[in-house]
Structure 1
């Protein structure tokens, strides 16, 4: 996963006004009802075309299922499952991000609710 790819996801989440940070949420949560944290797992590449595939995991945490589900639906529209959200990045590489699936995560704290969303990220490097 490239820095440009991480910035692409960050910018997309910001454009949808979804509270998001990579690896840990360090901003104040006092004024928000839910927030999302991203992490990734690179898939070994067998392609010779410069493509790198990454599984990107978004974990949403909040107090109400309704808010998490509403934000999940915004994310689903932000990164469509068929065509994806695509761009040519500033370094000349290409990216496409696709919604995969989602599922609730059990927590030991009955106060907090959690959902995981799996995205597929495909990046094509020019170098």
Structure 2
């Protein structure tokens, strides 16, 4: 895994070469995803895509910080709920409804 530069170097990159800092971030993100369990990769890729889209709307570093901080807080809060109240968490199951086309409905009725 790529070694993270010192804080001072990261600060310098943020102030003087933000594109290089962005490239480092993308490289580290990809490495984390590649080194994760295969079952976790699709969720991580989706999360990263979602995060990148939201970050692209931010105009200042503070907005980016606030956005990431809120996302992390929400995930931590969800995890806290699952760990402290697992019964409540598992009671909230979604009912999956199938939407059949008119052709499928007609075929189902004739099969009966």
Say yes or no: TM over 0.5.
Answer: no
TM-score with structure 2 length normalisation?
0.29
Q: Which has the higher contact order (CA 8 A, sep 6+)?
A: 1
| Structure with the higher helix share, 1 or 2 | 2
